[in-house]
Amino acid sequence: MKFLSLLSRAAIGVPFVVLGYAAIKEPGGRVKAAENFGIPEDLADLAVRANGAAMALGGLSVITGVLPQVGAAAVTASMIPTTMAGHAFWKDTDPKQRQANLVQFLKNLGMVGGLLAVIATTKPSQD
């Protein structure tokens, strides 16, 4: 059962480590999305990088089992603005873009469900 626990934590954590690191290294178009979300222009780059850091560090925490509930909670919190800013399907007028953003929104919702499962089922002294 420990192997299955590690495997499930890795499956939920790895995407956040990879994508969080990418946001830190090259914020790119995420900065404009942050500005459109209401983050001031002079803080948008920092906000994107900080959000990426929360995802990467939280993902590592989940994978390694070092304070996995804290890491999962941090990633969950970071997913709210990420999803709202990046996949606001309800604002799209183009049906194809709306569908693409809806798919990404629902994928993120599923990832948050996995993170909530980590929070709900991880015993504090498990790992």
Give tens-digit pLDDT for 63-105: 999 999 999 999 999 999 999 999 999 999 999 999 999 999 9
Q: Is 125's pLDDT higher than 60?
A: no
Q: How many residues does the chain have?
A: 127
Which pLDDT score is estimated for 1?
66
Distance CA 28, CA 102 (A): 22
Question: What's this model's pTM, rounded to 2 decimal places?
Answer: 0.88
Q: Is 42's pLDDT higher than 80?
A: yes
Distance CA 100, CA 86 (A): 11
Q: Is 27's pLDDT higher than 50?
A: yes
pLDDT (average), residues 13-28:
97
The separation between CA 87 and the C-alpha centre of its own chain, rounded to angstroms, equals 13
Distance CA 117, CA 100 (A): 26
